Chain A
Amino acid sequence: MPRPSIRALARIHRRAALLAALGAILVLAGALIWFRPFLTRITPQPTADVPTPSALLAVTEFAVPAHQQACMQSVSVEPNSSIADFQLRPAKATKAGGPPVQLILTAPGYRATVNVPGGYPGGGVTLPLSATPPHPVIAQACFLNRGTSTVLLDGTSEPRTVARSTTFIEGHTVVGDIALTFLSAQPSSLLDELDHAFGHASDLTDQLVPVWLIWILSVLIAFGVPLSVLAAFYLALAGEDPPQPS
């Protein structure tokens, strides 16, 4: 087979480079259009921690009578856990609304409260904690009914959604958990939260992959995947035989 001329080879390389550049431009444009808003969209109250998630299918209502409390153990609270989010309603719908409820978080060296004033019709509560811990702590969370009527707290008793916390009402163990989420008061985007997120990912590998390595790997993946594919495509095209003249 005759060897292709230098000019033909140069043409092939130019075409290969053009096509790889086309791919790079498309990836860049796609990343700007698709990824940028995803990464930079501000979440007003990002999730800080979810000690006990809500039910997947069937909500369980935990009734706490007047002057009684429901407590959950092993509730983790993070330094950015500044808002508590849970659901409650009066057991009987009255004009006076639901009774006042206080959420008390206690751990060695840490105590915080959230006060829900009485008179609510029922639904979601998103209120600030009186204090945040300086470092992550494992706390006890108690919902204290300070009113004169029973309050219902939403949670789960589905085996697949019950978390590690043990729940007590009036000192007796009950099956399931009251759903409780902590939010951060600092509005932030996913990009702002990357270091936090990488910290969580590292913890979930039992710190086998440290945060700094996750940063390096993320950059490698974000740039290495497009570069390796487009470089493969370039080399494949550049190694082509020139088209035979018809």
Chain B
Amino acid sequence: MARTKPTRRTRVHAARVRGALARIPAPLALLLACGALLAIGWDLSLPAFQGPDEPAHFGYVQHLAETGTAPNAATGESPNSTEVHDALLWLNLQPLTGNLSAKPAWSTADLKLWRQAVAAEPKGSRANGSGANAIAKNPPLYYALMAIPYRVFVWLPLLKRIFILRLFNALCYLATIALMWLIAGEIFGPVRWKQTLAAGVVALEPQLAYMSAVINADNLLIALTTAFMLAAIRLVRHGPSMRRVLTAAVLCAAAFLTHGRGLVTVPVFAVGLCVAWIVHRPGRRESLQRASAALGTLVFAALAYLTFGRSPGGGGAYGGQVSGLNSTSSFNIRQFLSSIYQFYFPKLSSLQPRLGPEYGYRQVFIDTFYGTFGSLEVVFRARLYDTLQVFSALGLVGLYTACVVRFRRLLRDWPLVLLMLTLLITQLAFLHYVSYQALLSNKGADPLIVGRYLLPMISLFGLAIAFTVGSLPRRLGQPLAAVILSAGILLSLAGIGITAARFYA
């Protein structure tokens, strides 16, 4: 076949792409390379379906890609398709989940047995995972996007397809690193080492890197929330132009079309708009136009979801954590506030014991935030979590001190501070509320929240570290940044190592 000459248009396009790639700062390019390596490492060390709720998330992607419809949240033949069921069964991936005494069926003989089962599967074995799938109450955006690579690689056998899908999934993680870099650039200016530190701690956050290898809507939610924060920061800093308002609105809508927890971006967006209006005072007509554009985008997205995007099977618009918002359990404000207090501090003698198991900030902010892998069964040594807890506490003291010392700068930048505080408070209040409601409805069995639910705020984590370390004199701050990045490297590699050892040795 004769090779066709590239047209002028393709040449211009290729030159543009080359130009854009050349404009990527070298430190960011290296951090993205590090992220790509970590994502591949995690993909290899975690067998299929061993991430949190991974079979259900994959089931949603598969059913949507195969049939064009979401699975049913309430009824159906089976939550897993025959193809997934066979892999879970013949490769012992079902008993492996969360069970440290189990190993996958890992020999070539096992693989042969599974291939025989696959060869005997009847037609339609990929499309019959119709439900009941608890994840089906999630909005469809992530699953619709993942359905694209699924369709492209549908010809591959299941395990190979999952490996490739996870690599696509990792693009969200890489986007989060790049977005963190841009946010740090907006906040600190072009101070490369602070940008590198902020984006570096995000790239090296073990739980975030781990999630990149799990088919789970959280990945897109994290990337979208981080992108939304960048858009909101630009909105507040540079003024509410129509483009900036629409960008933030679209990202906010995309976040709540990805996961119910994306709803926390709505109040942050409202605060961002108000602050931008106060700071930049656009004319009445522009204000009305832009507010209408923002509101219209959100309403349009919500209506489109409620009309076309909801899973069959009835119930609320959202599942999982968000179902706690409309729980009918009896809400008691004193008990709620007491449960929040006891989440962070030891119980006072006058307080009623907290509902549910011993579960507090250590479990959420340390253990499952820094790294608990597999289906929560792969953990670092307790001593390491103790160390992380001590250093996190020292970091908070440092952050507080930096805030006091640089109070005038923070006061000057009050719009940005307010924006970030809104995200922090909204997210935490949301998580505490749904955890409390869950404990009420399941009679204290399961507090529901884990550290990965904090990952949509990962940009605040990166900024807090870069701000605190950057507030120190350069002579101290830069060596401390080197120490933090080194610790992150060790943690990330250790996470991959202990997970691979758990599953394959």
Interface residues of A (CB under 8 A from B): 15, 19-20, 22-24, 26-27, 30-31, 34-35, 38, 46-47, 49-54, 56, 74, 76, 78, 135-138, 156, 160-164, 179, 181, 190, 193, 196-201, 203-209, 214, 217-218, 220-222, 224-226, 228-233, 235-237, 239-240, 243
Residue of A nearest to B104 (CB): A204
Residues from chain B with a CB closer than 8 A to the CB of A50 are: 92, 101-103
Residues from chain A with a CB closer than 8 A to the CB of B105 are: 51, 76, 164
B500 at the interface (CB under 8 A from A): yes
Please name 6 pairs of A and B residues whose Cβ atoms are closer than 8 Å in the assembled complex, sorted by A.
A50-B103, A136-B110, A163-B102, A220-B37, A233-B193, A235-B27
Q: Is A231 touching B30 in the complex (CB atoms < 8 A)?
A: yes
B175-233 residues at the A interface, CB under 8 angstroms: 191-193, 195-197, 200, 203-204
B8-39 residues at the A interface, CB under 8 angstroms: 26-28, 30-31, 33-34, 37-38
- Residue of A46, A164, A209 near B163 (CB, 8 A) is A209
Q: Is B193 touching A236 in the complex (CB atoms < 8 A)?
A: yes
B95 at the interface (CB under 8 A from A): yes
Given A197-B505, A224-B33, 7 other A-B contacts at CB below 8 A?
Answer: A38-B501, A197-B501, A200-B503, A204-B47, A225-B492, A232-B196, A237-B192
Residue of A nearest to B200 (CB): A229
Q: Is A76 touching B109 in the complex (CB atoms < 8 A)?
A: yes
Residues from chain B with a CB closer than 8 A to the CB of A198 are: 504
Q: Is A206 touching B111 in the complex (CB atoms < 8 A)?
A: yes
- Residue of B44, B47, B200, B490 near A233 (CB, 8 A) is B200
Q: Is B33 touching A161 in the complex (CB atoms < 8 A)?
A: no
B110 vs chain A, min Cβ distance (A): 5
Given contacts A224-B34, A233-B200, A236-B196, contact A197 B504 (CB under 8 A): yes
B481 at the interface (CB under 8 A from A): yes
Q: Is A235 touching B26 in the complex (CB atoms < 8 A)?
A: yes
Q: Is A31 touching B159 in the complex (CB atoms < 8 A)?
A: no
Residue of A nearest to B96 (CB): A53
Q: Is A200 touching B92 in the complex (CB atoms < 8 A)?
A: no
Total interface residues on B, CB under 8 Å, equals 76
Q: Which of B41, B48, B487 has the most chain A CB atoms closer than 10 A to its own CB?
A: B41
Residues from chain B with a CB closer than 8 A to the CB of A225 are: 34, 37-38, 41, 489, 492-493
Residues from chain B with a CB closer than 8 A to the CB of A181 are: 101
- Residue of B37, B92, B96, B478 near A237 (CB, 8 A) is B478
Q: Which of B38, B113, B191, B504 has the most chain A CB atoms closer than 10 A to its own CB?
A: B504
B482 at the interface (CB under 8 A from A): yes
B479 at the interface (CB under 8 A from A): yes
Residues from chain B with a CB closer than 8 A to the CB of A207 are: 111
Q: Is A200 touching B106 in the complex (CB atoms < 8 A)?
A: yes
Residue of A nearest to B204 (CB): A229
Q: Is B30 touching A235 in the complex (CB atoms < 8 A)?
A: yes
- Residue of A26, A190, A217 near B41 (CB, 8 A) is A217
Residue of B nearest to A217 (CB): B40
- Chain B 463-498, CB-CB to A under 8 Å as 1, else 0, gives 000000000001000110111011111101110111
Q: Is B45 touching A201 in the complex (CB atoms < 8 A)?
A: yes
Residues from chain A with a CB closer than 8 A to the CB of B369 are: none
Q: Is A164 touching B89 in the complex (CB atoms < 8 A)?
A: yes
A177 vs chain B, min Cβ distance (A): 9
Q: Is B27 touching A236 in the complex (CB atoms < 8 A)?
A: yes
Residues from chain A with a CB closer than 8 A to the CB of B498 are: 38
B90 at the interface (CB under 8 A from A): yes
Q: Is A205 touching B486 in the complex (CB atoms < 8 A)?
A: no
Q: Is B203 touching A240 in the complex (CB atoms < 8 A)?
A: no
A205 to B156: give the CA distance in the assembly, Å: 11
- Residue of A78, A197, A206 near B157 (CB, 8 A) is A206
Q: Is B98 touching A224 in the complex (CB atoms < 8 A)?
A: no
Residues from chain B with a CB closer than 8 A to the CB of A27 are: 486, 489-490
A178 to B160: give the CA distance in the assembly, Å: 31
- Residue of B110, B482, B504 near A20 (CB, 8 A) is B482
A49 to B37: give the CA distance in the assembly, Å: 29
The 7 A-B pairs at the shortest CB distance, nearest first, are namely A53-B102, A200-B106, A136-B107, A236-B192, A206-B159, A136-B109, A232-B30
B90-130 residues at the A interface, CB under 8 angstroms: 90-92, 94-99, 101-111, 113
- Residue of A54, A161, A208, A232 near B200 (CB, 8 A) is A232
A240 to B196: give the CA distance in the assembly, Å: 12
A8 vs chain B, min Cβ distance (A): 14
A203 to B47: give the CA distance in the assembly, Å: 10
